[in-house]
Each structure stands twice: as C-alpha cells, then as structure tokens.
Structure 1
Amino acid sequence: MKFIHTSDWHIGRQLHNQSLLEDQRHVLAQIVELAVTHEVDGVIIAGDIYDRSIPPANAVALLDEVVNRLVNELKIPVIMIAGNHDGHERLGFASRQMRESGLHIIGPLKPTLTPIVLKGDTGDAVFYGLPYADPATVRHLFESEVSTHEQAMVELLEQVHKHDSQGLPKVVISHCFLDGGSESESERPLSIGGADKISPSLFTPFSYTALGHLHGPQFKGEPQVRYSGSILKYSFSEQHQKKSVTLVELTAEGEASIELLPLTAMRDVRIIEGELDTLLEAGKADLHRDDYLMVRLLDKRAILDPMGKLREVYPNVLHLERTGLMANNSQLAIGRDQIKKGELDMFTDFFSQVSGEPMSEAQQTVMVDTIDELHKQERTS
C-alpha cells in the first residue's frame, strides 16, 4: 500500500493581499504528477483544503480541477477531511454520492465512524478520517464530559481502537495540534492557553497518522506520527521551511517507510535586509527577484517612496520594515513584541496595567471562554 500524505492546501489564500491561486495551481499540478510517478494507491489530504469556510469561486474551481484529474482521469482514490479553516458542511456536500467514484470527503464530524478501505498492489489498509472538531462538538455528539482537545481526541480514537480491521494496517487522518509541534505565524490557533495541545502518544498504536494543521513538515513521538506541512509558504516566518508531500509505503504487517517528496514553488517567500542602495544594486543580478519578499531596510535616514524604488527592481515586495529607523526606538520595539503575543497574554497585560493587580483564575477562565467563542465565530463566518 502506497499513498501520498498532504495537507493545508489553503486554496484561495492571500499573502499580504497577494493572491496565491496561480502559485497553488502550479504546486498542486506537481502533486498530481508525483502521484502518477510513484504509482500511489491513494492521496490523503489532512484538512484545511480551503483557506476559509466560504471559499471564493475560483478556489472551488481549482479544487474541482485537481480532484477530477486524480479521481476521474487517473483513477486514484482521494480522502480529504475538513480542517479548522474549512466550512465542514460545505466541504462535505454530496460526499455520499461521490464515495463510489473514489472521492471520500469527511466534512462534519459524525457520531459513527466510517472506515475507508483502500486497496493496494502489495496489500490493503483501513483509513479513519477524523475532521477537526472542538471539545464542545465532541461533547454534544457523544454526550461525554470532555473539556480539552486531548480528551476529545481520546473519545474519537476509541472508535478506531474498537473497529476490527481484519488484520489490515490502520491509518488515522486528523487535523489537530500535537504537543511540542513547531508552529508558524500563518496557522490560526485552535484554542488558547494550551488547551488545544494533544499528546503524540495517542497515535503511536497506529501504522501511520496523517496529520494536518502545522505548516512545517515534522513528526512527533514516533516517525509515523507526522505532519506533511503546507504546500506553500504562507508567511514570512516559513522562509526557511522546505515544502514537500510525504510518500508512505505500508507493508502488509503495517510497517511504514516514509519519503519526503519536495515541492517547487513558482516564487519563493524570502526576507532580505540591507540599505536601499545596496539592495537595489544586488537586485539587478538576482535571478530570483520575482520572489515574494519582505524587505528590512537598515537605512537610518528618511527615504522618499522606498517601496516604489524597491518594486522597480523587486516587483513582488509585499512588506517593508524600516528596521534602521526603529533601531533606537524602544517603544516601537516593545510594540512589536506585544503584537507577537496571543490575545490572552495581551489582555492579561492590559488588565494588570489598568487595575494594578493580576487577573484572578476565575477572570482568566471567563476570558479564555470568550476568546475561544470569538475564534469559533470567525471560523464559521
């Protein structure tokens, strides 16, 4: 059994207001070709198919194009689950009708698990899709007293443990945040205060766990408990990440061999810094000056229209920082540190400064619930 594990396509995403749709089309075509080249028995997409719950029409058209190529033309089954960015009901529309064609979409979480058997030349495997679900959703569906993401995952995995796979390897597909995972700035938090973190040990009993949510390729606990990472760099914090999909080959006994297959973007995402004149001169010989760039200018003097000057050489400068001007401004430095903090930390600091005393445990609980509810509304809006 051989399959490709990918996730976090975020179709329709923008980077600093720059549409990435053509960049996504370019790299998704590579994934299709890799599926053909390696003669895989399936493609697994572990959530965040779209970038928002109501995707634009051109994003839907691109997904339709890719899925049609894989499922209808190449006859390669596809399993996709909803992530925290996806509109679960919209993604799951007509999923029962599509199942027979080889397209398996797990949108909203259901109280009954539906195992999916994929057939391979060297053996079959059973796949269990667990779409993103917060503790409140699991509590309602299963009438259980869960309050954290880990408790909710334990509840969901209980069905996987109980299911008789007839000796076939078990593969879990999930969209969650494992404790100890390396984050990027482009990932939307699932919760706050650490309540979203799940122990990697929950997944070690399975032959392979295909994870989505974290954008850097990585594994936690065991090599077979793995994030494939996003298909593109979706923030400048990811500039040093090497994007890939994961090729997994399972033996009949459930042993997994893993290979990372690199993806090549149309344009890289980079940060460059220096004084304006130096950067402009270097740009004339830069073969990759069309990359998406954040520029940190070290000049300490005022400059007329620095962005316009930069874009004459680097057409895709998306963000400009006047690092030189800010170097001696401690207040601005403090402000930037504040921006990096989470909502709860920022409000806690604000409360302490205004009231002169720290928040009580009860007050923190109220704020955690309030911010969680705002994030939930944002995901469904």
Structure 2
Amino acid sequence: MSKELMKGNEAIGEAAIRAGCKLFFGYPITPSTEIVEYLSKHLPKAGGTLLQGEDEVASINMCYGAASTGARVMTASSSPGFSLKQEGMSYLAATELPVVVVNVTRTGPGLGGLGPTQADYFQCTKGGGHGGYRQIVLAPSKGQELYDFTMEAFDLADKYRTPVVILSDGFLGQMMEPVELKKRPKAELPAKDWAVGGCKGRAKRKVANYALTNEIGEANNLHLEAKYAEMKDSLQRWEAFQAEDAEYLIVGYGTCGRIAKSAVLKARKQGLKVGLIRPITLWPFPEEAFANLDGVKGILTVELNFGQMVEDVKLAVECRAPVYLHNRLGGMLPSENEILRKLGQVFDLAVEV
C-alpha cells in the first residue's frame, strides 16, 4: 500500500474519517487547527458533519449530545482550549459516553506559546475535570501512530464507553511524514443499546451522573472504579527498545520517545548498555514495563515539563532503582547529546557527546 506525505494533524483527520467518525465539533486553535481544516474539507464528502462551535465549552457539550445518540464523535484542541473542555469531559465520563478528544499541546502555563510541550500530562492522565474519573490516553510518537492510534481510539471509546484522548504536541502535529493509510480490521464491539433515539426509540438506560443520595453516588462510582480496574489490567502498552540487557533505561513518550531512541543507539555504539521504555498508554500507565528491573542500575525520564511522568515512573519502580529527570521547557526539545550528557552525569558514566 502506498504512503502519503501528510502533516500529523492531517493524518489524525483522515484516520477519523476512515474510522467512521460522522460528527466533529471544535474550535480552531494553533497548533491543532489543521485537524479542523482537513475535516471541514473531507468529512462532508464521507457523509459526516463538522460544526465550529462558538468556543471549546460549546464544542465539548455538542459532543456530549451527539455521543448520546451512539454516533462516532470527535473534537480537537490545544492546551488552553483543552482546559476549557474539562467540565464536559467529566460529564462524558460520568454518563459513559464514547468521544475521541485530540490534544495537540502547546506551551504554558496560561496562554503560553506555540511550541511543543508535555505539560498536559497530569491534566490528561489524572482526569482534568472534577470527580476523580479516568480516561484512556494514547501517546503517538510519529505520523503513522497518529493515524493508527486515532483509528483505534474510536474502537476503544466504543468498547469501554469512555472518552479517549490522543495526546499529541505541536511538533508532531505540524511535522510532515509518510503515512500508510491502511484499513483497520472491524472490531467486535458491544451493541449500543444505551443510545437515545428520540421519544419513540428512547433507550432504557440508567444514567450514572446525578445522585441525590450518598449511597447511590457511591454505587455509581464503584461501578466506574470496577471498569477502570478492568481497563488498567488489559490496556497497558509500551515499546521496549534494546531494554532486554539494559543497565540503564531512558523513559520517554511522544516526541521525547523518538529522540530518546536516537540517544540509545548512540550509547550502544559506545558500548553502554542503555535501553528505552516508551509508554504508549499514558493511562493506564504501563507499570508492567517496570515489573522486571534485574540488572537495571538507574532510570532517566525525558520530558517537556517540570517533571510529571517521572512521578508515575517512580511509583512503578517502587525504589528498586534510582530515577532521575531530564527536561526542557517552553517549546524547546532535548537533543540526543543532552540526554546522554545527563545520563553520564547522574550515573557517573564515561559518555562521548
């Protein structure tokens, strides 16, 4: 199958169409705007509808209403706009409605800038709105994964009746790479007997959203807790690169994951046993990737923030190896030499950079 040269944002839009997305509600914001532009041109040709809401709050609530009908729905934004969607996402989690939400992150805090960041990690993985909910978070590191993970996100959203976040960034969204527009096998998914269909076809569904008694409120949350436990057991995914015999592990996702892979290759050429763990699901976090740390002397996480994923790495490692952080901020990206220099610094290694 041939490949097409596409921006990451365009790959997301094309994948959504091929996954059967019929409705998109959003508001343009850099660096995610190409998703809206691409879908505005191509989604109607596929029998879908795109509506630009007056803002992000309106857009996520349009998704709420559309998802309740059982249609495949998506929205996209960038960090400040994603923040505005958080109340709506909490409601989606409470009513167990499947929506795919793309966050092409930009720097902050506040209005910030247009460069790439990973400072939205906490917001995405810990449930950015109120109520302590969880949502699946997928972290692509290249154009092909932006396409593949977006297609998969719709299946996961339908299977688990939950919002699914594609966590991209300004670098991945704007970069052009060859993308194979492959088809995804049709998944075996549960019937949407919960979907509403008007007065005559109204579904007999229990909405676990608003509880006037604490007992009902606890029961609703226990139901969600059990579902999240099932997701945590079955969905953990990661890439292990030259990690089998590694004495030192670098951990990075998304853009940092692809840069860290180059650092691993350079370290191996110098005879250093360095490997990479690249989380693909940020929630559930791939704790299983750190189950066996025999022979591992230390771990370095690489992030575009003050240090967020490093907390989950430390929890997974449980003090079995020292964990350090190398970070860049404000839209700056680390180089492979920077990563190796930090690795040599914290673990007292002779590294050539």
TM-score (norm: length of structure 2): 0.32
More RCO (CA 8 Å, sep 6+): 2
Normalised to the residue count of structure 1, the TM-score between the two structures is: 0.31
Q: Is the radius of gyration larger for structure 1 or structure 2?
A: 1
